[in-house]
Structure 1
Amino acid sequence: MELKGERLLGADRATAWRLLNDPEVLKRSVPGCESMTVTGEHAYDVVMSAAVGPV
């Protein structure tokens, strides 16, 4: 998955980095994310729900 964009955060760099690497924070931040489990260094199992429009 490749994500791009910018966002100004109201936190110092160390705090932002710690939170961005916290699976629970990531889970709450990603729309449709139902669960996120750490499976290794820099590796996660993620369960997401997504709606599909009319076909």
Structure 2
Amino acid sequence: PHGILHDVLVRVAEFVFPADYVILDMEEDMEVEPLLLGKPFLATGRALIDVERG
């Protein structure tokens, strides 16, 4: 990785979560979403993901 950002505060609605970001050098692929959230962030935010609907 090019670098890591630790404890960046991310606001989701009225909540604020600390998140770590890993900076990667990748070729652009228009079929892939540009932001990947890790499992710890999704768990902290109690994300509900409908895998069937996307």
TM-score, normalisation: structure 2: 0.22
- The answer to which structure has the higher helix fraction is 1
- The answer to which structure has the higher strand fraction is 2
TM-score, normalisation: structure 1: 0.22
